[in-house]
Amino acid sequence: MSARPTTLRGVADLCERALVPPERVTQLAAVAARYAVAITPAMADLIERGDAHDPIARQFVPDARELVAGKGERSDPIGDDAFSPTPGIVHRYPDRVLLKLVNACAVYCRFCFRREMVGPGRGGLSPTALAAALDYIRARPQIWEVILTGGDPLVLSARRLKEAVSELAAVAHVKVIRVHTRVPVVAPERVSAALVRALRAREKATFVVLHANHPRELGIKARAACARLIDAGIPMLSQSVLLRGVNDDAETLGALMRALVECRIKPYYLHHADLAPGTAHLRTTIAEGQALMRALHGRYSGLCQPAYVLDIPDGYGKSPIGPNYLSEDGSVVADFNGRWHRYPPQR
C-alpha cells in the first residue's frame, strides 16, 4: 500500500516534489527560515510543475523576494497589537472581537498579513490565556459577534473547537460566531461530520468565511467539504485577497466569484493585499483593483460582487475602496459600461 501524501513542510520537500528547482534550494531555505512553509497535498496537486507563474504556486511556494522589504511594509500591517487588550483578543470594532485560538495553519500563504506571528511551534492560547480571553468577552455586553481566527481555527480538533464554541454559546450577549478558515479548500478531508457538529451552537448563528483566491482551489473535494457545512445549516461567505499573477484579471476574478456562488458561498470581501513584509511582488495598485471591480460590475451577477476593502495600516480598520459611480454633487451617475447619465435633483 502506498504511503498517504503528507504536507510539504520545507524547501527540500518542495524540491523533491519538483515544485522548486535544485539550484534554488539554498536561496529559498533562507526564506523558509524566516517565514513558515506548508503546502497540503490538495494544493500541491493543483500546482503546474515547471510553471513559474502558476497561480497556486505563487500563493504557497516561497520566493526569494520575500526577504526584500518594500516601502511602507511592517510586521503588524493592520495594527492587531494596538487593539489586543489580552492575549488572543483583538477588539478594534465596538460590537465584535477576534479570538485567535491558534497560531498555526494548514498552509502558509506567502502574502499572509500575520506571517511574523504564525507558524509551526507558535502554538495557541494556553488554558489560562483562553480563560482570560473568554472573561474579557463575558464582561463586555457590547460584544455581539466573536470571530474565530488565528492562524486557522479549523486545524484544531473537533473536541477543542466544540469546547471553544460551547463557551462562547454560553455568553448571552454573543449572538454570532464567525469562523475564518482556508481548511475546506486546502485540507477538505478535515471537514468531518464531527467538526461540523462542533461548529454549531444552539440559539446562535454560526457563519464560516472561506478564504479562496483562485477558481482552481474549488475542486470536487473542496466543494463537497463546503456542502457539508452548508447542508448542516451553516451559511458560508468568502474572502479573497487581490494578488498579482493570481487573480488580477477580470476573467479569473469573475470565475472565482462564480465558482463560490455555485457552491452557495456569498462573496464577501476582496481584500487589497496588506503591507506585510516581503510581499510587494504580489500586490497590485488600488487603481488596478478598482478597475477590476468596474469590470465585474454589470457583467457578473450581483451575487458575485464582493466589497473591495483596504485594511488601513496601524489598526484603523477596513474601508471600502471600490470605484465610485456617482458624481460629487449627485447629479450624474455612471452605468456599468462607463456611460454617464443625469439623475434628477432630490430637493
The catalytically annotated residue of 54, 76, 248, 311 is 311
- 21 close to 87: Cβ distance less than 8 angstroms: no
DSSP state, residue 297: B
Could you confirm whether 92 is annotated as catalytic? yes
CA distance linking residue 4 with residue 6, whole number of Å = 6
CA distance linking residue 298 with residue 99, whole number of Å = 37
Could you confirm whether 110 is annotated as catalytic? no
The catalytically annotated residue of 178, 226, 274, 304 is 274
Could you confirm whether 105 is annotated as catalytic? yes
CA distance linking residue 316 with residue 309, whole number of Å = 13
Could you confirm whether 178 is annotated as catalytic? no
List the alpha helices (DSSP H) in the chain: 11-16, 25-34, 41-44, 55-60, 127-138, 158-169, 183-186, 193-199, 220-231, 250-262, 286-296
Could you confirm whether 81 is annotated as catalytic? no
Q: How many CA atoms lie within 13 A of 102 on its CB side?
A: 19
Q: Nearest 5°: phi and psi at 86?
A: -150, 150
Q: What is the DSSP string of 136-172?
A: HHHT-TT--EEEEESS-GGGS-HHHHHHHHHHHHT-T
The catalytically annotated residue of 13, 35, 76, 112 is 112
- 229 close to 191: Cβ distance less than 8 angstroms: yes
Q: How many CA atoms lie within 13 A of 57 on its CB side?
A: 15
The catalytically annotated residue of 93, 122, 204, 258 is 93
Could you confirm whether 93 is annotated as catalytic? yes
Could you confirm whether 318 is annotated as catalytic? yes
C-alpha cell recorded at residue 3: 504511503
Could you confirm whether 263 is annotated as catalytic? no
Rg (CA), the chain: 21
CA distance linking residue 285 with residue 54, whole number of Å = 21
The catalytically annotated residue of 105, 226, 263, 304 is 105
Helix (H) or strand (E) holding 332: strand 332-334
End-to-end Cα spacing for the chain: 77
The catalytically annotated residue of 58, 92, 182, 294 is 92
C-alpha cell recorded at residue 15: 524540491
Could you confirm whether 109 is annotated as catalytic? yes
CA distance linking residue 226 with residue 266, whole number of Å = 12
The catalytically annotated residue of 108, 109, 162, 300 is 109
The catalytically annotated residue of 17, 65, 74, 96 is 96
> Where in the sequence numbering do the catalytic residues fall?
92-93, 96, 105, 109, 112, 114, 274, 311, 318
